[in-house]
Structure 1
Amino acid sequence: MSSLAPYASDPARTRGRLFVPGASPTRSEFQRDRDRIIHSTAFRRLQHKTQVFLHHEGQHFRTRLTHTLEVSQIARSIARALGLNEDLAEAVALAHDLGHTPFGHAGERVMAERMGKWGGFDHNMQALRVVTKLENRYAAHDGLNLTWETLEGILKHNGPLTGAGGQPVGRYVEQGLPPGYDKVEASADLMLDTHASLEAQAAAIADDIAYNAHDIDDAARAGLLTIGDLLDVPLVGPIAREVLDLWPGAERYRQIHEVQRRLITRTIEAVIAESAARIAKADPRDADAVRRCGRTLVGFPEAMARDERALKALLFARVYRHPKVMEPVEAGEAIVGRLFDAYLDTGDMPGRWGALWRDAPDAMARARTVCDFVAGMTDPFALDEHARLFDERSDFR
């Protein structure tokens, strides 16, 4: 593909797939990955998984699916501007949340606690389990049989897992390396001590851009924030003042939308300019040179990164910890915990899951089977299972 920069990921030079498929006359290897992800069961389930506001709050709030689609669009925009492979950026973006539990981060916290003595839980690693093991619709193999580059991006889009000596780095220093990181079946070593491709880095920064902007929009829709609350907040405050100056009499929802779209545009443009400068300075000759350069090349400018952290702090205090959010979150935590405990004790899971539990060789394997089943649930299905097992219907559906 002559339009790609030399440091982009070229689908014609992929490290390939674990199982070699027939050639496609119309699609590149990364386009095939994207299509496999979109047609997967796990991707469809995202429409019924919580982002921040639970499904019962209303149908206009983001779900994991709509968040994922927004991340995908932003990742493609960044990749296009930098001369990267848009299809790989899109594939990583579309898969990045496939490992999330029902009820948002609440479910993830419970799963991490319950799995503490059974190897732990990490949503990036769970996404890899989904695409390499748990999606089992193909006749020839389990998993989606994605390319090495897409698998690498799912696991490492937030950075390396280890140093050169194999020691954990970053967040893995405290929480340990994710369970099963050393058992991923791929066409080649995933090189845990290196950064991922620029396409995966674009997907990672797109995730931050998307949820900062849409969480403001959703919080305003829920009545937790007003445009006035944003005026003195770094990054978004100048935009909010600009909108009020331009449209002081506009409806509240129009003002918030203007803030949101300007925030997305300006952060994308800043990331593109900053990333282009970092790439020029690093001067990587190919995609492997990107992996070995020792730093993230796609990111916010330094001042914007500080302001973005301040915006996150506001959202954490005013939105994520608000009683209107926390009450159903705590109910969701209780449901996930009760389901996990009941399944682990009895194996009373529908379909093949009960058989997998009974055939598991040891307690750790049984716990991982339960973890896979619960993590894959949608919010409504978790509520139905809770009602089936405990004859209790939660009132936040």
Structure 2
Amino acid sequence: MAVASYFYPPLAPYASDSRRSRGRLVAEPSSPTRTEFHRDRDRIVHATAFRRLKHKTQVFVAPEGDHYRTRLTHTIEVAQIARSLARALGLDEDLAETLALAHDLGHTPFGHTGEDALDEVMRPYGGFDHNAQSLRIVTRLERRYAGFDGLNLSWETLEGLVKHNGPLIGADGKPTERYAKHGIPVAILEYDALQPLDLASHASAEAQAAAIADDIAYDAADIDDGLRAGLFTLDDLAAEVPLAAEFLAEIRGRYPMLEKSREINELTRRVITRLVEDVIGEAGRAIAALAPASVEDIRAAGRTLVQFSSVIRDYDDGIKRFLFANVYRHPRVVPIRRDAAGVVRDLFAAFFEHPTAMPPQWSADVELLDEARRARRAADYIAGMTDRYALDEHRRLFAQTPDLR
């Protein structure tokens, strides 16, 4: 039974069309009520790894207060922005949302601090990369279905998950800049051998929309959380970020007596709106100049089409420089991040040397694994932990555990 035509809204000719999907690694009958990308979205939402995002932090480790973002709330915000971009550009909204919902599945506990620490201890065994870990989760580690490991997602979703930041291989066959030093993660190469993901091409416009949506959500969220945490003030931000100064002058001119919490919200929503509208305009111009007739033309364009204009890119760079100095390297945050990294390193050492300290489903047959695969097993277990569970495991194994507040 075919999916009803109203499940397929009119799309631009360069959009991804689920009716022309390259399929799934394990063939499955089509759904009578959902498109292929709709099914992918649902499978991600019901995944165990997706639920765990609720208790994984963004920047603040174990924050005091319930209003700071977690990986889950950030993911929802990215999905909302990605859908908005996709709708404006005539793309498949389900695929854009799917990629937004899946983009952080591979993140460790304690945000980028945890990822850096896990990459450090895994460096002798291939390192750790959260994009590669996301791929491992959806192709191997989730075990929900009788017929296959992973979620058996469509080719287009897997491609976007791996390549949303651009190609992994250059025209010369060598890894692109991001992977030049350590090479492409083994997990990506192993899966690419099973189902080639065209690592030398760009991803779909939907994947590009999800990637820039992540950027936009990060900027706004870290400004919002940093202000509410008291790491900097609105005036500090305005003094260094011209876009923020413009918005703050507008807000205070129109609402001179506005309370601080509303002032913060007015600023962050203006940031999101300006950046979203800029991407829509810039992408529209780039796509019109290319005149792509298919999604394959998007992949072969040789550059990212869904991106900021040069002016807003400069503003975005300024926001990131400010946040790096005033949030990620803030004196209150640095010692917490240091202690969090120590927790991850301790856990890896414990589970690598004593695999039976992990639950049975993780320690089963570990004596049959070589050193590299034993290390990867420990990394998989740690990467899946929430912040709270990682601290609980550390307390179980060690006499002293830092209070990450």
After TM superposition, the score normalised by the length of structure 1 is 0.97
Alignment of 1:255 with 2:263, yes or no, is yes
Partner of 1:289, secondary structure, is: helix
Return the offset for 1:187.
7.4
Amino acid at match of 2:180: V
Amino acid at match of 2:131: N
Amino acid at match of 2:403: D
Aligned twin of 2:347? 339
Question: How many aligned residue pairs are there?
Answer: 396
Alignment of 1:130 with 2:137, yes or no, is yes
Return the offset for 1:329.
1.2
Q: Any conservation in 1 of the 2:340–2:404 contact (CA below 8 Å)? A: no
The 2-side partners of 1:359 and 1:94 are apart by: 35
Return the offset for 1:356.
4.5
Change (3 A) 1:356 1:263: farther
Instruction: Compute the RMSD of aligned alpha carbons.
Output: 1.3
Query: Which of residues 14, 31, 36 is equivalent to 1:29?
Result: 36
Aligned twin of 1:284? 292
Aligned twin of 2:243? 235
Alignment of 1:163 with 2:163, yes or no, is no
Aligned twin of 2:5? none
Aligned twin of 1:354? 363
Q: Any conservation in 1 of the 2:106–2:137 contact (CA below 8 Å)? A: yes
Amino acid at match of 1:332: A
Moved over 3 A (4+): 185-188
Aligned twin of 1:39? 46
Change (3 A) 1:354 1:212: same
Residues 316-327 of structure 1: pairs in structure 2 closer than 5 A:
316-327=324-335
The 2-side partners of 1:287 and 1:197 are apart by: 6
Aligned twin of 2:313? 305
Residues 380-391 of structure 1: pairs in structure 2 closer than 5 A:
380-391=388-399
Change (3 A) 1:187 1:23: farther
Return the offset for 1:137.
1.4
Residues 14-93 of structure 1: pairs in structure 2 closer than 5 A:
14-93=21-100
Q: Which moved more, 1:342-351 or 1:187-196?
A: 187-196
Amino acid at match of 1:170: E
Q: Structure 1: which 5+ runs fail to align?
A: none
Q: Any conservation in 1 of the 2:135–2:188 contact (CA below 8 Å)? A: no
The 2-side partners of 1:60 and 1:329 are apart by: 20
Aligned twin of 2:226? 219
After TM superposition, the score normalised by the length of structure 2 is 0.95
Q: Any conservation in 1 of the 2:133–2:187 contact (CA below 8 Å)? A: no
The 1-side partners of 2:234 and 2:63 are apart by: 25
| Partner deviation per Cα, 1:332-363 (whole Å, 9 max, x = no partner) | 10000000011111112112111143332x10
The 1-side partners of 2:23 and 2:197 are apart by: 12
Q: Any conservation in 1 of the 2:95–2:206 contact (CA below 8 Å)? A: yes
The 2-side partners of 1:50 and 1:229 are apart by: 25
| Partner deviation per Cα, 1:80-132 (whole Å, 9 max, x = no partner) | 00000000000000000001000011111111111111011111011000000
Q: Which moved more, 1:5-14 or 1:219-228?
A: 219-228
The 2-side partners of 1:44 and 1:250 are apart by: 37
Return the offset for 1:186.
8.2
Query: Which of residues 328, 339, 347 is equivalent to 2:336?
Result: 328
Q: Structure 2: which 5+ runs fail to align?
A: 1-7
Amino acid at match of 2:382: V
| Partner deviation per Cα, 1:254-281 (whole Å, 9 max, x = no partner) | 1010000011011101100000000011
The 2-side partners of 1:2 and 1:96 are apart by: 24
Alignment of 1:144 with 2:154, yes or no, is no
Residues 170-189 of structure 1: pairs in structure 2 closer than 5 A:
170-184=177-191, 188-189=195-196
Q: Any conservation in 2 of the 1:122–1:179 contact (CA below 8 Å)? A: no
The 2-side partners of 1:393 and 1:230 are apart by: 35
Partner of 1:127, secondary structure, is: helix
Aligned twin of 1:271? 279
Q: Which moved more, 1:277-286 or 1:169-178?
A: 169-178
The 2-side partners of 1:187 and 1:287 are apart by: 23
| Partner deviation per Cα, 1:30-60 (whole Å, 9 max, x = no partner) | 0000000000000000000010112342211
Amino acid at match of 1:264: I
Taking only the aligned residue pairs, the percentage that are identical comes to 56
Amino acid at match of 1:4: L
Change (3 A) 1:186 1:261: farther
Return the offset for 1:185.
5.9
Change (3 A) 1:101 1:143: same
Change (3 A) 1:354 1:187: closer
